[in-house]
Amino acid sequence: MIPKLNRTKCQRTSGFCLLEVVTSVAISAVGITGVISGYILAAERAEWSALSAAANEQSIQRVEQTRAAKWEPGAASPLDELVATHFPMQVVELSLPRKGTNVSWATNRTTISTISSDPPLKMIRSETTWSYLSRGVFTNTIIAYRAPDS
């Protein structure tokens, strides 16, 4: 046997009370806020990843340019195009698929150091510096070692 609650006819037919409505609205608001915050966070992380990949591409491109430079210290007439003055600092546009004026810029610095003269070996360091929103400056660095052409 199920006991019956002592409710009046008005209480049984009145629907939700104010406390139940406020509680359900609060729970819904927390859920919707969580979904929107998650979407915004995912979009920001995706944009940061795209900028980082584009900056990495710029660093790789600069290292490839230094690899194309001629360096032949053992030739009849020694040739060394692999010097830092041939690779000055550049301000470059990051290659992102964007429309309009939303352009992201980066600074590319290349340093070339002689590691050893016997055997000849140089270190190439390419740094691409870029910023994202108000979160500061980020740097992508690639270091490569290079021996002479011959």
pLDDT beneath 50: ranges in the chain: none
CA distance 18 to 16: 7
28-54 pLDDT, tens per residue? 999 999 999 999 999 999 999 999 999
In terms of Cβ atoms closer than 10 Å to its own Cβ (0-12, 13-18, 19+), residue 136 is exposed
Cα 3 from chain centroid (whole Å):
64
Structure tokens at 9: 């006819």
What pLDDT, on the 0 to 100 scale, is given for residue 59?
95
pLDDT recorded at residue 22: 93
Per-residue pLDDT, 128: 97
pTM, two decimal places? 0.76
The answer to whether 148 touches 120, Cβ cutoff 8 Å, is yes
Q: Other C-beta atoms within 10 Å of 146: how many?
A: 18
pLDDT of the residue at 76: 87
Each residue's pLDDT tens digit, 6-16: 665 555 556 77
What's the rounded Cα separation, in Å, for the pair 54 and 3?
70
95, 103 Cβ separation under 8 angstroms:
no
Instruction: Identify whether the C-beta of residue 107 lies closer than 8 Å to the C-beta of residue 90.
Output: yes
